[in-house]
Chains A and B, each alone.
Chain A
Amino acid sequence: MRGSLHGLRVLDLTGEPGFLTGMLLGEMGADVVKVEPPAGDPARHRGPYWGEVADVERSLVWLAMNGSKRGLTLDLDAAAGGDLFLRLAERADVVLETEAPGRLAARGLGWDVLHARNPRLVLASLTPWGQTGPYAGWRGSDLTVIAMSGNLHCTGDPDRAPLRCSLPVSHFHGSIEAAVGVAFALLARERTGEGQHVDVAMQEAMVMPNMATASMSMMTGNRGARAGAFFRQTKSVQREIWPCADGYVSFALRGGPARVPGLVAMTKYMSEHGMASEKLRATDWKAYNHNLLSQDEVDALSAEFGAFFRTKTMTELFQAACERNLMLAPANTSREIVASEQLAARRFFVDLEHPGRGVLRLPGAFAQITSDDADATTVAVRGPAPRLGEHTAAVLGEIGVDAAVLARLRAEGVL
């Protein structure tokens, strides 16, 4: 079980915004070594904790986002730590980092130094605003970079403040973008022999989730607005997320060729339960254009669908959706996701043994390889998130640091 990136060595210095980058590269087969300060990554010191025991080995965000990596502690602010890091970098393919621009260079570990020591090395830097530019020195975090992307402005209820997702979406977008940058730089290296500095800005990474509406605003004049659980049409707003008997479902009363069969099937489903009016049953969905309806017409139509959904549970509606090809989906919580029969059939979740703590069920491979060559290309979780310093001796052993030196470095607090 090797993976497409088998044989590539990655040093992962990232904090929380970049955890996912190394995890994805690790699932694709790279040897990813997480480099933490001796006290552990700050995310280890933050709940929620497994079993609600505050412990550096039980932080759930740490455990969830650092699988498929090995773990090394190293004080990069100590001269001996920086020197060890450079020795590791000399034989690495990739370094990942999320520090403020200039911070690595201030320690003598910047791009110029790394490139000089190892011209084949790829350095990927993920930061809120990028390495250069008028705001490169600004502080930034999930909330503020999304604020500057247009996405926050358009998310939320119209009568309240613009809104973010309760987990940091910009970290996810930025992390995957950084992984793309790494893979592209490695592809280019195959031809040129040279590594590159890959500079990824989370603010920019959050423009694309607007699905081209930022670009189109120059053509359409649409600046975007919050519509809550609704979707803004030309002449109306239409409900997109609907309350049902025990939760919420996503369903769009929008037209267009791809949606016609679903609307026809939904009307039939409602009819079978005696909950479709004569007018609804007579609707010609092929000719239906949601953009031409007035708000009153939309509201009348929505009232029928809304009343029907309230009589059904999320599970009932989703089962019907799967059987009848309705374009409707439950707004799942983790509980429904973990219980999904689709995900079970694809063996998506993995149960990982975390020594001393037990077995934790987590999302597994982020993609599946179905070809004959799957053993050499497979995407898979390679192991649980490392314990603090778990692989320090093994990783440093690979560059010839022996037990005596290891003991001295530990005593000096470098490891």
Chain B
Amino acid sequence: MTTTPHGGLLDGFTILEFGGGAAGPVATRYFADHGATVIRVESRQRPDFLRILKLTPDTKGGLDGGEHFAVLNANKRSVALNLGKPEAVAIARRLALVVDAIAENFAPGAMAKWGLDYASLVRERSDLVMISTCLNGQTGPQRFYPGFGGQGSALSGFNHLTGWPDREPLGPYGTITDSLSPRFAALLLAGALLHRGRTGRGQHIDLSQVEGGITCLSEAIATFTANGEVLGRMGNRSRHAAPHGVFRCADEDGRERWIAIAVHDDLAWARLVDALGSPGWATPPELATAAGRLAAVDGLEAALAEWTRPQAARPLAERLQAAGVDAAPVLDLRDVHDDPQIAHRGHFGTVRHPVLGDHPAETHAIRFSAMAPALRTPAPRLGEHTDAVLRDLLGLPDHEITSLREAGVLE
């Protein structure tokens, strides 16, 4: 990823952001990374919990020292507004009326308390684009049900589908609806801006994180509604492919190492057998077909595990790939930074943060042929851009800003 300033894909767009955590802020990062101005409305009274989450005992602390917040919010600007004060609400309202879009992920009804909900704003601004995202959506009997991504994974069915058939459900790691829904939100916002560009009309988008998750799991829903079958946990197995698993390799630096191997068709199996040196356990003719391999999968994977156990994971994966087999070493969170392909894609860049110092921040998985994303600025300190935004977007004179600050409005 390039870190030099340059014209971006979305230069000139401005998005106002309310809320916190991951589900909203990750969505607007897509815009910020491509040149749009993303302004977070924040408050010292109720800071984003990621600003105060302390990850390690020696975390520097303070509202500007949260690593998690910093990584998720690079390239954004921050305006501090104490929305407990009517003057602050009035400023938020004026900002809402001059930006291109608003993204919020509060609980349903929170924006309405300030008169910042779509229905209130659209009366003055017919082309307003706004997205509201929360766990269950803005309507329905469970709209106020509180939850984080952990609850989203459970409600949408991901937990039930992750784990071993003989054990309890779990993961997937990282609260999956928190990472799916920002992608849905970015798509919907971009679609709304396209529509507005062509028609001059705005829209209000209601994105339920649980519904987005279920949309992804449509196959499981169809399998139930069509056949009455409830899909369950299969470990790493596949209904269509065998072997299909993760196998232990030789430890390195005192750490467990594993390799993932997936054989999707008969040709790939023949290649794997070749790479194995055609041992007796791999050559019975019934294993030449997927049906035969699936029937014998227990023995097959046990034998394969024995073969991988003494070998080093990455060289083994490279050797299998060279032989045309789908295989990959299992990388831990640190290894990902050193992966040559991830490095080639420029997935991680570095920003210089005033509290944390130089730190890596990631971007997304899209590369455009004509423009690159850019990490330009670190995550904002709370209120860092208050004066600039009020001056540039609303044209407030300095003395007015000063008196608002003295009145405790800008904190």
Contact = CB atoms under 8 A, between A and B. Distances in A.
Q: What 10 A-B pairs are tightest by C-beta distance, nearest first?
A: A183-B190, A133-B344, A334-B224, A204-B365, A250-B154, A144-B328, A329-B151, A147-B260, A154-B173, A64-B218
Given A210-B173, A217-B332, A368-B137, 6 more contacts: A135-B321, A150-B331, A150-B335, A177-B366, A180-B190, A363-B215
Given A166-B231, A218-B359, A220-B55, A155 B191 contact: no
Interface in A183-200: 183-188, 190, 192, 194, 196-200
A363 B221 contact: yes
Nearest to A357: B226
Count chain B CB atoms within 10 A of each CB in A4, A48, A192, A361 and give the residue with the most: A4
B344 A240 contact: no
Contacts of A64: 218-219, 221-222
A111 B369 contact: yes
B203 A371 contact: yes
B342 A207 contact: yes
Interface in A40-82: 46-48, 50-52, 60-61, 63-65
A396 to B, nearest CB: 28
B333 to A, nearest CB: 4
B171 A156 contact: yes
Given A166-B161, A209-B179, A224 B246 contact: no
B262 interface: yes
B145 A196 contact: no
Contacts of B186: 180, 183
Nearest to B58: A220
Contacts, number: 534
B336 A150 contact: yes
A240 B149 CA distance: 12
Interface string B319-340: 0010011111111111111011
A129 B95 CA distance: 41
A362 B218 contact: yes
A337 B156 contact: yes
Given A190-B197, A215-B361, A369 B206 contact: yes
B339 A164 contact: no
A60 B330 CA distance: 31
A185 B9 CA distance: 8
Main secondary structure of the interface of B (DSSP, over half): mixed
Interface residues of A, number: 152
A147 B336 CA distance: 10
B195 interface: yes
26 contacts: A20-B215, A50-B227, A138-B321, A139-B325, A139-B326, A141-B326, A148-B330, A165-B172, A172-B216, A184-B9, A198-B367, A201-B365, A209-B172, A212-B72, A213-B174, A213-B333, A223-B255, A256-B49, A322-B141, A331-B160, A334-B224, A343-B140, A363-B214, A367-B184, A367-B205, A371-B202
Interface string A118-146: 00000000000111111110111111111
A223 B193 CA distance: 39
A328 B151 contact: yes
A164 B3 CA distance: 34
Interface string B358-371: 01111011111111
A144 B327 contact: yes
Contacts of A201: 341, 345, 365
A412 interface: no
